[in-house]
Structure 1
């Protein structure tokens, strides 16, 4: 069976940055370590006044198509995943296709276009859709373009304000992929939850504590479901485990939960028994509450062991390198984590070909998906072509007054005309509105 997976990746970050410890924390009168050590964040990316989910997505897609010398005829579907959409009917993919048709010969008139919504997991769901489309033989030899693009903004003063971010990840899904092959096995954990939502509003309503609990519960369910159709996972099975990363501090909890699950009944649990004992088993306790208390105590001990710390440093920490600098990208978050892990491996000279990733996607509301990916022999060339470090270094550093100004510029409830902070160069920009209040875009040389 021909392998199907991610053949190319490109990233486009918002062109502004907010320095959390040096700009945001002093303005809030808070300890910078609340952000650097607590949340695990250094800076957040923001869109300039001429940027939005369309421009970022189109710019990432153009960069990918240019680098791979693709034309519209090579693309059979365009799927956009976002939870920042501004139209309840017309999908963002049509806007992006319209942008790309400004710069390429030909058009996307025979490409299927759609928009996926399930909070942050929609990017992975769009990859699943493309995978199934190719496996069904409906692609006619063409590839799918999947774009995860979001402006993850919160109301000013909201507890989630420090975790904001903006950017897009474009991925080419095709047969015989260069980057990773997707596993046929998937695991899901899904339930009707009210942890994070936007009922006809731009900025989210969030129950932070509940959201963390739901995230972990759905991830556990998804891992158990994956193992039911794949294999009993072991920490040594995977070189990296990229998680959905609203902020790195959240991934610390997911990593610990996953590690405890994977070592249960293994040689690692045996090795750690003399140091911290064996994991509690439910049958050993008279009540569920007592069992949960024992599990929490065990996990507190587990996270202090050298065995766990070493595993986390090698398997999880490298996936967070970009998130620390860009913040939360909602649908793009887990795909940024994958790129960060492969980028780290390339920089360290690690040959990833044939090695496995375990990808943990999540969307509030709520659903988690777990699947495995096998790294292909073209991964290093693809990762070396990414320009994300240069993009991050060139971001305009906002002071706090400028941050509040640009936040107002992207608040749909305000009519704020703000001068741009950077000069567009070889990219798509938002230029205004048309006769039916549609957004208009142009390519600026």
Structure 2
């Protein structure tokens, strides 16, 4: 039986961050409110020249080679931080990566679920076109505003995945369980550059939809907790995933639950350092687990729970492939996180308040990351220029 899934994946995050202990002191709260209560440690801060296009291209560039470029038949970008109401961010990335014109290119929006929607579209595509591959990119900048309740759950970053019929990392099973319902737990109107949220209600919807898809998956004999090596969650902040995990304590046997809990801790390492990256949060968790858990072996089966406010959820499953570590770059990712610049609170606030021009005048941006191959150069006549 043919298998399809993730062949390679990589992530990029801006080279600057705010330490949440510093932020807690500045906001006059106990740091443990952030470190334990939210479960986060640091938060990536995106400079103007690293928008979702630049970050997405930077995540994807290390995966590229000429053979891959010619075999790509689809590029999907999942984002809820779109830069244009009409033109897809994917088209900018398509040009930056030098991809062929003879392929489909699109952007998908459904809050944090957009990346999973892109992955599912990509899987359907490669199953129908096994000679082709797909590139799925999740790229987002989470913004809630300074001194707001959601401030501590901001972040920025992108994850890129190659999807095809030779899944060197994770073979994804065709059977999934989905749920959709219209809610107002989190939203951002077109006229606002920050999101609105009903935090407690959002948590309730998240947990309710996880329970719904888990129970249906169990009825379909998909969960099989005795051979489930790990369960990954959409983690806008690690405490949210932990609460989802706790709903299973009475539903799975003690041995399985202990194993899933232990692996969960490795899946949140990167997210605790980067913060909320919306569509990419689940896949950053996948990468974190694969690169930080040395006990994983070929054949280990994962469950992956994706959630997007508004709201849509999906639970799907995959199996680790032989030599999966050869398709990862843990040292590079560790170095990228270690070598970021720590911003003072004043610097962070100044960075947050910077804006791109909106009147059509010319704006040239300073380069923030000399190790990143792609960036936004500036704007002129309402058009963005990248390199």
TM-score range, shorter chain: over 0.9
Aligned mate of 1:125, from 117, 124, 142: 117
Q: Which secondary structure does the structure 1 equivalent of 2:36 belong to?
A: helix
Is this contact kept in 2: 1:17–1:395, CA < 8 A? Answer: yes
Deviations 1:248-292 (A, max 9, x none): 1111110011333334xxxx5xxxxxxxxxxxxxxxxxxxxxxxx
Q: Structure 2 unaligned runs (5+)?
A: none
Q: Which secondary structure does the structure 2 equivalent of 1:149 belong to?
A: strand
Q: Distance in 2 between matches of 1:230 and 1:52?
A: 42
Q: Distance in 1 between matches of 2:12 and 2:38?
A: 23
Which residue of 1 is the match for residue 281 of structure 2?
A: 333
Q: Give RMSD over aligned pairs.
A: 2.3
**Structure 1 residue 181 displacement after superposition:** 0.4
Q: Which has the larger radius of gyration?
A: 1
Evaluate the alpha carbon distance shift between residue 337 and residue 119 of structure 1 in structure 2; reply closer, same or farther with a 3 A threshold.
same
Q: TM-score, normalised by structure 1?
A: 0.82
**Structure 1 residue 425 displacement after superposition:** 3.4
Q: Which secondary structure does the structure 2 equivalent of 1:239 belong to?
A: strand
Which residue of 2 is the match for residue 283 of structure 1?
A: none
Q: Which secondary structure does the structure 1 equivalent of 2:47 belong to?
A: coil
Within the alignment, does 1:363 sit opposite 2:308 as a pair?
yes
Evaluate the alpha carbon distance shift between residue 313 and residue 440 of structure 1 in structure 2; reply closer, same or farther with a 3 A threshold.
same
Which residue of 1 is the match for residue 378 of structure 2?
A: 432
Q: Distance in 1 between matches of 2:44 and 2:115?
A: 19
Q: TM-score, normalised by structure 2?
A: 0.94
Q: Distance in 2 between matches of 1:73 and 1:386?
A: 28
Evaluate the alpha carbon distance shift between residue 395 and residue 183 of structure 1 in structure 2; reply closer, same or farther with a 3 A threshold.
same
Q: Structure 1 unaligned runs (5+)?
A: 102-106, 269-306
Q: Which secondary structure does the structure 1 equivalent of 2:70 belong to?
A: helix
Q: Distance in 2 between matches of 1:50 and 1:95?
A: 14
Q: Distance in 2 between matches of 1:170 and 1:389?
A: 17
Q: Which secondary structure does the structure 2 equivalent of 1:259 belong to?
A: coil
Within the alignment, does 1:376 sit opposite 2:321 as a pair?
yes
Which residue of 2 is the match for residue 158 of structure 1?
A: 148
Bigger mean CA offset, 380-389 vs 92-101: 380-389
**Structure 1 residue 210 displacement after superposition:** 0.2
Q: Distance in 2 between matches of 1:39 and 1:70?
A: 43
Q: Distance in 2 between matches of 1:385 and 1:88?
A: 36
**Structure 1 residue 71 displacement after superposition:** 4.5
Which residue of 1 is the match for residue 198 of structure 2?
A: 207
Which residue of 1 is the match for residue 345 of structure 2?
A: 400
Within the alignment, does 1:42 sit opposite 2:41 as a pair?
yes
Which residue of 1 is the match for residue 6 of structure 2?
A: 6
**Structure 1 residue 424 displacement after superposition:** 2.1
Which residue of 1 is the match for residue 172 of structure 2?
A: 182
**Structure 1 residue 385 displacement after superposition:** 5.4
Q: Which secondary structure does the structure 1 equivalent of 2:91 belong to?
A: helix
